[in-house]
Amino acid sequence: MKPIAPKFEWRPRRVFRGLRFDGIDDGITVPSSDLLNIQAGNKISIVMFARFRYAGRTCVVIDKRTDRYANYNWEYSSNTMFMRVHANGAYYIVSVPFEFDVDSMFTMVLNGSTLYGYLNDELKSTRSVPYSSGSNTVTLYIFEGRGEVFQTVGTLYALMIYSRALSDSEVKYIYNNPHNPPQDGLVLWLAPGSIDPINGKWWDLSPYGNHGTIYGATVVEEEEEVEVL
């Protein structure tokens, strides 16, 4: 039986149950599934709740690309997240500035010929993109690059992938209600309550069984940070 997702209360500058990655040899892999590729009509949405640390180098956050020809990857250097769609021999980027050591929601929405990048519930960047030239059968890598390179330093709390384009109002809704995201088109949902460190799994709470295998990351459960006056 799959675990049941608990209510997950999200507020900025608060930390929750998640996985902490050391940036050395930690990561998550999800086996290839066509549901995790950019879908017909050039549509996909990716939502991530995370806190990133400065690493002094490029860090790969999520990667399912065939470089410059299919799908997507995210990476950050300094304090900017680069969300990339790969198509037709090139890649197309929306850049989203963020703060290190702050719990945040990052969202990429591809809707036909337009790519959107959000931080929390605010749209930060848009650009036009061509339709993708194809999909692939590549493993989905999370908080690591293929071949265990460019690992991310930070904490991942939740990840959602949709096979459709979320609306602006839905992005705002998820930011305020991450424990109860829209179910239509939800093809991967790694939720805080579905981390299973004993079996080394992060169970997918969508109906599609896109479960993640955990390598080395540490479960963290922390309370709200309170400023002492």
Q: Compute the distance between CA of residue 198 and CA of residue 191 in angstroms, rounded to an integer.
A: 16
Q: How much is the pLDDT for 222?
A: 62
pLDDT at position 228: 35
Pairwise CA distance, residues 75 & 98, whole Å: 12
Q: Hey, what are 169's tokens?
A: 């109002």
What does the pLDDT read at residue 5? 47
Residue with tokens 């039986």: 1
pLDDT at 226: 37
Q: Which of 217, 40, 13, 11 is nearest to 112 (CA)?
A: 40
Residues of the chain with pLDDT under 70: 1-16, 133, 147-149, 222-229
H or E stretch covering 81: strand 80-87
User: Hey, how many other C-beta atoms are within 10 angstroms of the C-beta on 180?
Assistant: 12
Give counts: helices (H), strands (E), the chain: 1, 16
Task: Identify the pLDDT of residue 168.
Answer: 98
What local confidence, expressed as pLDDT, does residue 6 receive? Answer: 44
Report the C-alpha gap between 34 and 21 in whole angstroms.
27
Q: Which domains does the chain have, with CATH numbers?
A: 18-220 (2.60.120.200)
User: Among 47, 63, 58, which residue's Cα sits nearest to residue 80?
Assistant: 58
pLDDT on residue 151 = 86
This prediction has a pTM of 0.90
Q: What was the pLDDT predicted at 15? A: 41
Strand, coil or helix: 11: coil
